[in-house]
Each structure stands twice: as structure tokens, then as C-alpha cells.
Amino acid sequence: MTTLLQRPAVRDDSDRAVAENRLGQRLVAPAVVIMLLVTAWPMLRALYLSGFRYRLTTPDDRSFVFLGNYGTILSDPLFWKDTLNTVIIMVVTVSIELVIGFAFAMVMHRIVFARGVMRTSILIPYGIITVVSAFAWQFTFSINNGYINSWFDWLPFINPDTNWFGDHWHAMTAIMVSEIWKTTPFMSLLLLAGLSQVSEDMIEAAKVDGATWFQRLFKVILPNMRAAIMVAVLFRALDAFRIFDNIFVMTRGAQNTESSSFLTYRQVIEQMQLGMGSALSVLLFLTVLGLAYLIVRMFKVDLAQARGEA
Amino acid sequence: MRKNWLGTWVGFVLIMAWCLLPVVWIVSLSFKSAAETTAGSPQFFPKAWTTQNYKDIIDNPDFTRALLNSAGIALSATFLSVVLATLAAYAIARLDFRGKRAVLSLALAIAMFPVVSLVGPLFDMWRTFHLFNTWPGLVIPYMSFTLPLSIWTLSAFFREIPWEMEQAAQVDGATAWQAFRKVIVPLAAPGVFTAAILTFFFAWNEFVLAISLTSTTASRTVPAQMAYFVGADQFNPPYSQLATASVVVTVPVVILVLLFQRKIVAGLTSGAVKG
């Protein structure tokens, strides 16, 4: 197991150090076993199953197709369309959340009254069940029962008959709004934590030197929050890439709003295509892994180092 | 200065509206009668307030059963996950041992894991082990997905605890294990509590595994039950009933947030900045 492969970190061989090493490994062992049991093992099993044409409704008809499933998936336009949807949702929601979240963080940082009230209200969208948030927004956008059409019909592209679940872009907008509402608070809290680490003296010094508000923001505040921004973007981007609940509740994938996760779910649970579904799972896993690597490289921050871990 | 003050006020009002409007909306919907929402009722507040929806939902055995499942599964997962995470986080924060970095990297990797990619293999494995459609069938995966967050939160908290107390205990003759149990545990309790709240939120919220690894009300949790509670016509869901169910499952969340907001924020941001 990975815990045993690391090069020795123990500096001396005294009984005390040996005992400490043993206790440490014993204490982490149960958590490591549980984490591997439910992720690494099933993932290896998925890798194995992805080599078969295997449908649960006809288990005897199982045959080895090597990379056949991957070939089928990668040459299917549906896979690419769903991947594109997922990427659009990820990029749009994370960018908007970053801007709104930062504005929220600025307000929370500066505010001197009602901090508790504000913290409480900000945590409610975070804590609320995603399914509930999806229902709330589905009803908000509903043509019969929603208030969006009547409140915003002064906007040129909204009128009382706008059917938000009637075509691709409207449905995507509704899904993204629900996602943004639910996760902006999380983003703003992470950014607030980063913002409070930026030294006031530095901002003051820049002000004295004649820096404008924009210069102070882009040259002093943001560069000094890089670690916090990176953690927020990393976690939110990967989270957005896994989007599933909102789509399941709001459209069930209608109007081409299917995401990668939804496609995988549909293959496994609805179609019972275990072989094909496993291949999709492996692809999804690899995509997330690649995405994480990209973001970490982009910000050039060592996460463990940022946490102060040796 | 006066302009700044005004800007902060406007910001405050906007944030409150942003966060609370949708919540007020489902509460308002839950007091509309079924007849009103079926006919179409785009105004924000009900024409006539009624508590009939709440009576109906409490009398609905599928819903109360789902509520019981949710509570049982979420609490078991929280308890088990926090116990294991406490042991692991203590070791990470305080002890020098081989493979510490590997454990942290594993936790981080799992925090980013796409849950859906486990649906297929777990579905297959759980049927083999007869864990499909049972409580443990959901508790086990929830544990492993909440362990990373708990371990990170707790190790950050544990690093703040004064080392000297533990060493003093050891100088007085306590073993490493006694020092852990008698000195660190009481000091660490607030951090453990925070990890427990975050874990509970996750388990209470989880949806993908809840619909994939269950098939009947025997173990279906509230989010899963609600998603199937669509009624005969998919394009005309029972709005007011769903809104009422939403309000009921949101109550525990609101209570936890009201009581422990400061702790939750500390826990959520413990990994975001140095230290």
C-alpha cells in the first residue's frame, strides 16, 4: 500500500521514534482502508469491466471487447456534446461565481455590523440540499408558477410566455443559475479567508504611493490571495464538472442539457450497460484527474506546502 | 467615506436578497394550496394561506420513512467518519510517521473524485455483497467521501492545540495513547464538532449514490424520494407538495447553521489559507 512505499521520514531509531511511527500508521490505517475500499477498488473494477460488452439484463452475453467500448464512446457525437455541455457549465459558473464571490467577500470583509446575520444567511445556500435548490429554481423559472417571467419581462429577451425549459440555452441558463446560487457562498467564504490574510499595511502603502483602486486590486490584493483563489477555483471547478443533481431534477437531460455525469448514470442505471458505463466512468475519472493537474499547474502552488504540511 | 458606507449597505442588502429570496420563495409556495399551483399562480405570495400541505406530507408514509432513512444514514456516516478522521488527523498533526504525505494526497484525490464514476462498479459490488438497497450500502461510501474533508479540517484544528500539554502529560508518565485520550480529545472537541457538522451536511445532501444504490423506500433518502415524487405528469409536478417537503428537510440545515455558523465557516476555510 502507498503508506509503506514512502522513503523513511524517521530521523532516529530510538524506541520512542519507532513507537511513534507505528502508532501514526495504526491511527491512519482505518481511514485509509475505508477510503481505498470505496474508491480505488471499485475504480480498478471499473477498469476491468470497461473491457467487456456486458449488459446486466443479459449477463450470459458478456464478451471481451478490449478497447471497443472506448472506441464506441469516443466516436459518438453524444459523448462530445455532453462533454461540451459540462465544460460550458463549469467555465461559466466558476467565472461568474469568482466575480460575485469576490464582491461578496469584499463586502463581508468591510462590513462592521450584522456579521453574524450575514454569515448565517450566506451559509444557508451552502447547506441546503442541492435537490431542494434545484426544485426552488425550477419553480422560479416555471412558466405557470414562477415569478421570473412576470418580474423581469421588462428585459428584451424575457416575456410572459418565455418557456425556460423549452429549448437548450434557456434550460442551460436555468440550470446554471441554480448552480451559481447554491455554490457562490462557498466560494465567497474561501475568498474571504484569503482576503483577510492580505496585509492592510501593504494596501495602505500602495495607496500612499498613488495607486488607483484598480491598481491596488490587481497588483496588490489579488496576487497576494493566489493560494486562496487557486483552492477555491480548484474545488469549485471539479465540483461543477461533476454536476448531476440539478440536471436530474430540472430537465432530466431534456433539451440536450445532459452532462458527462448524467450520461454515465444513464448508461449504468437506466440502460444497465455495465461495460459501456464503466468505460465512461474511467473516462470521467481521467478527465477530472487531468483537470486537477491543469489547474494546479496553472497556479503553480503546491497544495501541501500551502497548508504548511511537511 | 460616506460613499463607502453606502456601498457596503447596498452590498449587504444584495447579499441577503441573493441568499434568502429562493428560500422565502419555497416557504411561500409551501403555503399555497395544491389547487392554486395546479391552476398556475405566478404571484410570489399565496392568494390564500393554507397549512394543508404540511398535514399531507406528515401523513405520507413514503416521506416520513425517507426522513427516517436520511437521519439514520447521515448520523451513522457522520459518527463513523468523524471517529476515523479524528484518529487519522491526530496522527497527521502530531506524529512523525512514514507515509504521512501519501495519506494527505490520497485524501485530496478522493475529495476531487467524480462520485458518478463509482456508481457502476459499486452497483455491481453491492449486489454481490447484498448491500444494495440497505443503510450500510450508503453509509460506507458516505464515510469514505467525507473522510478527506474531516481529516483536513481536523488536522488544521489539531495543529492549533498547544503541544506542551501533551508533552507535559508524557513527562508525567502518560503513554502516547493516554496523552491522546486524556489531554488532546477534550481540547479537540470543538474541531471534531465542526467536522461532524460538515460531514452531516454532505450525507444529508448526497443524491447520486442515493438514487443509484437504492430501489425502494426501505433505504431511499429524502433527496432521492423527492426526485421520484414527480406525480403522473412530468411537466406538471406537485409544486406545493414538493416545496413543503423541501422546507421540512431544510429545517435541520437552518438550525445547524443558526447555532454553529462561526464553527462552520472556520471548518470550511481551514484548508484555504496558510496554517
Q: What is the pLDDT of residue B79?
A: 92
Quote the mean pLDDT of chain A: 80
**Per-residue confidence band for A96, with pLDDT thresholds at 50, 70 and 90:** very high
Dump pLDDT digits (tens) for A213-263. Answer: 888 888 888 888 887 888 888 888 888 888 888 888 888 877 788 888 888
pLDDT above 70 covers what percent of chain A? Answer: 92
Distance of residue B257 Cα from the nearest chain A Cα, in angstroms:
6
Full 3-state SS string of A134-157? HHHHHHHHCCCCCCHHHHCCCCCC
Distance of residue A294 Cα from the nearest chain B Cα, in angstroms:
13
Is B62 exposed, middle or buried (CB count within 10 Å of its CB: 0-12, 13-18, 19+)?
A: middle
Q: Look at B236 and A306; give whichever has higher pLDDT.
A: B236
**Per-residue confidence band for A6, with pLDDT thresholds at 50, 70 and 90:** very low
Q: What is the pLDDT of residue A94?
A: 92
Residues of A whose CB is below 8 A from B249:
129, 132
pLDDT above 90 covers what percent of chain A? Answer: 5
Q: Is the separation of the CB atoms in B254 and B264 below 8 Å?
A: no
pLDDT above 70 covers what percent of chain B? Answer: 92
Distance between CA A142 and CA A138 in Å, rounded?
Answer: 6
What is the average per-residue pLDDT within B153-168? 79
B118 pLDDT higher than 50: yes
Distance between CA B77 and CA B137 in Å, rounded?
Answer: 11
What is the average per-residue pLDDT within A278-294? 86
Distance of residue A79 Cα from the nearest chain B Cα, in angstroms:
15
Dump pLDDT digits (tens) for A108-120. Answer: 888 777 777 887 8
Mutate to test the interface with B, among A5, A21, A28 (most CBs of B within 10 A): A28
Q: What is the pLDDT of residue B40?
A: 72
What is the average per-residue pLDDT within B98-110? 83
Q: What is the pLDDT of residue B226?
A: 81
Q: What is the pLDDT of residue A12?
A: 58
What is the average per-residue pLDDT within B51-75? 84
Contact A281 B121 (CB under 8 A): yes
Q: What is the pLDDT of residue A308?
A: 45
Most confidently modeled range among A215-229, B32-46, B73-87:
B73-87
Contact B176 A10 (CB under 8 A): no
Distance between CA A260 and CA A168 in Å, rounded?
Answer: 16
Q: Look at A17 and A10; give whichever has higher pLDDT.
A: A17
**Per-residue confidence band for A10, with pLDDT thresholds at 50, 70 and 90:** very low
**Per-residue confidence band for B270, with pLDDT thresholds at 50, 70 and 90:** low
**Per-residue confidence band for A310, with pLDDT thresholds at 50, 70 and 90:** very low
Distance between CA A239 and CA B101 in Å, rounded?
Answer: 24
Out of A11, A38, A304, closest to residue B140 by CB = A38
A vs B, Cβ pairs < 8 A, gives 351
What is the average per-residue pLDDT within A65-74? 79
**Per-residue confidence band for A302, with pLDDT thresholds at 50, 70 and 90:** low
Q: What is the pLDDT of residue A1?
A: 39
A301 pLDDT higher than 60: no
Q: What is the pLDDT of residue B236?
A: 63
Measured distance between the N- and C-terminal CA atoms of chain B, rounded to whole angstroms: 34
Quote the mean pLDDT of chain B: 81
Q: Look at A156 and B78; give whichever has higher pLDDT.
A: B78
Residues of B whose CB is below 8 A from A184:
18
**Per-residue confidence band for A303, with pLDDT thresholds at 50, 70 and 90:** low
A152 pLDDT higher than 80: no
Identify the three-state secondary structure at position B249.
helix
Q: Look at A273 and B89; give whichever has higher pLDDT.
A: B89
Backbone angles phi, psi at A51, to 5 degrees: -85, 0
Contact A190 B268 (CB under 8 A): yes
Q: What is the pLDDT of residue A5?
A: 46
Distance of residue A68 Cα from the nearest chain B Cα, in angstroms:
18
Distance between CA B246 and CA A40 in Å, rounded?
Answer: 35
Distance between CA A202 and CA A161 in Å, rounded?
Answer: 53
A67 pLDDT higher than 60: yes
Contact B18 A45 (CB under 8 A): no
What is the average per-residue pLDDT within B166-185? 82
Residues of B whose CB is below 8 A from A21:
95-98
What is the average per-residue pLDDT within A22-41? 85
**Per-residue confidence band for B275, with pLDDT thresholds at 50, 70 and 90:** very low
Distance of residue B51 Cα from the nearest chain A Cα, in angstroms:
19
Out of B88, B99, B237, closest to residue A31 by CB = B88
Q: What is the pLDDT of residue B235?
A: 59
What is the average per-residue pLDDT within B88-115? 83
Q: Alpha-carbon dihedral of residues B207, B23, A121, A94, nearest 10 degrees? A: 50
**Per-residue confidence band for A95, with pLDDT thresholds at 50, 70 and 90:** very high
Residues of A whose CB is below 8 A from B207:
129-131, 244-245, 248
**Residues in CB range of A261: below 8 A, 6 or more apart:** A86, A242, A243, A244, A284, B114, B116, B208
Locate the chain A residue with the closest alpha carbon to B197.
A127
Nearest to B210 by CA among B222, B230, B224: B224
What is the average per-residue pLDDT within A177-182? 90
Is B202 exposed, middle or buried (CB count within 10 Å of its CB: 0-12, 13-18, 19+)?
A: middle
Q: What is the pLDDT of residue A300?
A: 67
Locate the chain B residue with the closest alpha carbon to A133.
B22
Distance of residue B161 Cα from the nearest chain A Cα, in angstroms:
16
- Sign of the alpha-carbon dihedral angle for B181, B265, A138, B64: positive
Locate the chain B residue with the closest alpha carbon to A305.
B274
Q: What is the pLDDT of residue B34?
A: 74
A3 pLDDT higher than 70: no
CA distances from A117 to A104, B199, B201 (A): 14, 23, 20
In chain B the domains, ranked by start, together with CATH numbers, are: 61-268 (1.10.3720.10)
What is the average per-residue pLDDT within B203-210? 87
Q: What is the pLDDT of residue A11?
A: 54
Report ipTM for this prediction: 0.82
Q: What is the pLDDT of residue B230?
A: 63
Distance between CA B135 and CA B142 in Å, rounded?
Answer: 11
Most confidently modeled range among A86-95, A152-161, A274-283, B23-32:
A86-95
Distance between CA B235 and CA B173 in Å, rounded?
Answer: 70
Residue B159 CB coordination number (10 Å): 18
